[in-house]
Chain A
Amino acid sequence: MKKYVWLVIFVILFSVGLNKLANNVVVEDNSNETVKIGLVVPLSGNQASSGEIFKKSAQMAFRDIAKKNNKYKYELIIEDDGFEAKKTVSVANKLISVDNVDAIVSFSSHSGNVIAPIAQNNKVIHISLASDDNIAKSTYNFINWTTIEDEVIKMVNKIDDDGVKNLAVLVVNHPATNLMLDYTKKHIADKNTKISYVAKANSGTRDFKTIISKVKSANPDLISLIMFSPEQEIFVKQLRELGVNAPLTSIELFAMSNQKELFNGSWYVDAAVGDENFNNQFKEYANTDNNFGAVFVYDSLNMLNHIYESTNTKSPEVNRLALENLKIFDGAAGKLRNSKNGIFKSEASVKVIENGKISLLKAK
């Protein structure tokens, strides 16, 4: 009996000792920490086709990031905000509080403006693919897109070069489009072109016939149409029905249309385009010619990868400071220059639509 008691005591002591030993042994941990990046894009609604492009570009970026010798693992979490502000709030909060993302990339000014305060309050880096400078006002928020003002300057210069004397500008009421109108008025002031007619319509307007009658009276050489879909499609349809055949131009928004053949023959100013290598890769990967905005998603994710790998920490403050101090980033869209207020600038491009397809306008 005594023998067995000693045996039991020995087994217990041995187990305790073994456990203590195990806790003190340093086992090399081979698993990397994961950097989680949330992508907020419209995968439903009127902008779903653009959202799909961004999604594909993000997946391609992660494919390329995975090929590098990274210290961290990278995880992409894609959420659909349907291009609606109330959904954007909901998905942003979900990414931050449930998925614990380290950074968010979002598309469009209205999503960017909604996410910016949420990201700032939660110390999450936010890169917005949008042209509204206000988004980047706070320290955790950045913009990677060609600025509205640069796009407007490009458009105004081209209008002046083309000898347009009389311009009509039609916009739908929205902060970004109103800003485009303001910049147009500002930069066209010292050109030979006169703005003969300006009209704003509310989102949801479906009857433009009376506005168009006034456009007709103004007899413009060119119409700058800055409306989202479906307003821009309905407007053009009614424009042609009322016998107004003036050429059209826009800033970016033609690219978002699902009926691009309506804009055949029209040139417009768009954000920067990727280099040939990127465009070919994306075309093969996504199986589409439409690469609107794809390069910005790609470069934004690669920028985040660069930052996290160079700082060697997941600290939000360290990484946000590193991004803020990143002067130039060599991206697929060329050299992205940090304008020191959180805005990474790239050069606007001029594109043309023929047979429903978009291509770069060839210089004369």
Chain B
Amino acid sequence: MLIQLLMNSIIIGSVYGLMSQSFSLLYSTTPFFNMTHGSISAIAGYIAYMFLHLLGWNIIPSIFIALTVAAFFSFAFDRYIYMPLRQRGGSGMILLVASLGVYTMLEAIITILFNPQFKTLGKIDSSQVFNVFGAYISSVQLITVVVNLLVLFFFIFLLKKTLFGKLIRAISNNKELAFILGVRTDLFIGFVFGICGFVAAIAGVLAGFDTGLEPVMGFSMLFKGIIAAIIGGIGSVYGAFFGALFLGFIENLGVMIFASEWRDTIAFVLLIVFLYFKPQGIFVRNNKL
């Protein structure tokens, strides 16, 4: 049972990790709690559903279009909603409220277009299952774990080894100075929105195959991602990755010891404990990415 507990922790930690890593990177460039980020994952899931099930397309192009369109939505939200607000001196609170409004609107649109009934991307009982050292993991869950790891490597490579990453780190450290030095900060922030939207979209599509789609799915995924990011150290992709795994483990341990009803309570208690005792998170020093 312990091995299965660890496996369960890794699986759910990977789901949280996709959201937390993308949220962390996003937050490092535009420090506000972007609620729309959760609905990007829902948008991707439903677009994939539309192409796969309603239009009968093949799985690969359906997923590709879903991810690309969702990423574009993320970029567009920044371009046409958040960037104008930032340019007018909007505070983090104003941006948060704006993002909440956009989230609510998107959830309503998804509900109207697709109805709130639960849907799945794949056939719900069609996953292949693997036995890894006595613990079971389905093919979709294995893909989630692997993708989460790949996203971490991608972000590390992007931030450390590319010029783009250097510029993002510069913006994260001091946006005004980067602007003065000639960096087109708004454009690069837009690109970050697009990239992070792409990663959130991956989380949505994988969730659609594993546990199904609902219009409200984005909020709970984002919320756990935010908690994981705070635990790991907000603004750090390493921190977000390990924070997510830690959150997944503590939640599952709590369910094992107490009961499933306590899962969300445990997550909240953990958040409060970290905010109180270690608000900078486990991995962040000097607020660097």
**Which positions in A face B, CB cutoff 8 Å?**
44-46, 48, 82, 173, 199-202, 204-211, 213-214, 216-217, 229-230, 233-234, 236-237, 240-243, 258-259, 261-262
Flag whether B87 is at the interface (Cβ < 8 A). no
Q: Pick the contact of B260 from A210, A236, A241, A261 — CB < 8 Å?
A: A210
* Residue-wise interface mask of B (123-134) relative to A, using a CB-CB cutoff of 8 A (1 in contact, 0 not): 011010101000
Q: Pick the contact of A234 from B116, B129, B136, B212 — CB < 8 Å?
A: B212
Interface size on B, residues (CB 8 A): 31
Task: Assess whether A213 is in contact with B1, with CB atoms less than 8 Å apart.
Answer: yes
Could you jot down 13 A-B contacts, CB within 8 Å?
A46-B118, A200-B260, A201-B261, A209-B252, A213-B8, A217-B1, A230-B212, A236-B125, A237-B127, A240-B125, A242-B4, A243-B131, A261-B125
Cα-based distance from A240 to B125 in the complex (angstroms): 8
Complex contacts, B129 vs chain A, CB 8 Å = 240-241, 243
Cα-based distance from A82 to B115 in the complex (angstroms): 10
Task: Assess whether B11 is in contact with A202, with CB atoms less than 8 Å apart.
Answer: no
Flag whether B12 is at the interface (Cβ < 8 A). yes
**Given A46-B116, A207-B8, 11 extra CB contacts under 8 A:** A200-B259, A206-B212, A209-B11, A213-B4, A213-B5, A216-B4, A233-B124, A237-B125, A237-B127, A241-B138, A242-B136
Q: How far is the CB of B94 from chain A (nearest CB, A)?
A: 29
Q: DSSP majority for the B interface?
A: mixed
Task: Assess whether A199 is in contact with B256, with CB atoms less than 8 Å apart.
Answer: no
Complex contacts, A229 vs chain B, CB 8 Å = 118
Complex contacts, A230 vs chain B, CB 8 Å = 118, 212, 214
Flag whether B255 is at the interface (Cβ < 8 A). yes
Closest 3 pairs between A and B when the two form their complex, measured CB to CB: A230-B118, A209-B8, A210-B255
Cα-based distance from A240 to B136 in the complex (angstroms): 10
Cα-based distance from A243 to B138 in the complex (angstroms): 11
A-B contact count (CB 8 A): 90
Flag whether B211 is at the interface (Cβ < 8 A). yes
Cα-based distance from A259 to B125 in the complex (angstroms): 10
Complex contacts, B176 vs chain A, CB 8 Å = none
Cα-based distance from A258 to B118 in the complex (angstroms): 9
**Which positions in B face A, CB cutoff 8 Å?**
1, 4-5, 8, 11-12, 115-118, 124-125, 127, 129, 131, 136-138, 141, 211-212, 214, 220, 252, 255-256, 259-261, 263-264
Task: Assess whether B117 is in contact with A48, with CB atoms less than 8 Å apart.
Answer: yes
Complex contacts, B117 vs chain A, CB 8 Å = 44-46, 48, 258
The residue in A44, A230, A258 that gathers the most chain B C-beta atoms within 10 A of its C-beta is A230
Task: Assess whether B261 is in contact with A200, with CB atoms less than 8 Å apart.
Answer: yes
Task: Assess whether A262 is in contact with B116, with CB atoms less than 8 Å apart.
Answer: no
Q: How far is the CB of A51 from chain B (nearest CB, A)?
A: 11
Q: Pick the contact of A233 from B118, B127, B141 — CB < 8 Å?
A: B118
Q: How far is the CB of B140 from chain A (nearest CB, A)?
A: 9
Q: How far is the CB of B246 from chain A (nearest CB, A)?
A: 16
Task: Assess whether B264 is in contact with A202, with CB atoms less than 8 Å apart.
Answer: yes
Task: Assess whether B127 is in contact with A173, with CB atoms less than 8 Å apart.
Answer: no
Q: Pick the contact of A44 from B115, B138, B259, B260 — CB < 8 Å?
A: B115
Nearest A residue to B1, CB-CB: A213
Task: Assess whether A241 is in contact with B118, with CB atoms less than 8 Å apart.
Answer: no
Complex contacts, A259 vs chain B, CB 8 Å = 124
Cα-based distance from A294 to B172 in the complex (angstroms): 61
Task: Assess whether B261 is in contact with A202, with CB atoms less than 8 Å apart.
Answer: yes
Complex contacts, A242 vs chain B, CB 8 Å = 4, 136
Task: Assess whether B256 is in contact with A213, with CB atoms less than 8 Å apart.
Answer: yes
Complex contacts, B212 vs chain A, CB 8 Å = 206, 230, 233-234
Complex contacts, B256 vs chain A, CB 8 Å = 210, 213-214
Nearest A residue to B11, CB-CB: A209
Cα-based distance from A210 to B137 in the complex (angstroms): 13
Task: Assess whether A201 is in contact with B4, with CB atoms less than 8 Å apart.
Answer: no
Task: Assess whether A44 is in contact with B136, with CB atoms less than 8 Å apart.
Answer: no
Nearest B residue to A240, CB-CB: B125
Cα-based distance from A202 to B131 in the complex (angstroms): 28
Nearest B residue to A208, CB-CB: B260
Q: How far is the CB of A286 from chain B (nearest CB, A)?
A: 19
Cα-based distance from A234 to B1 in the complex (angstroms): 20
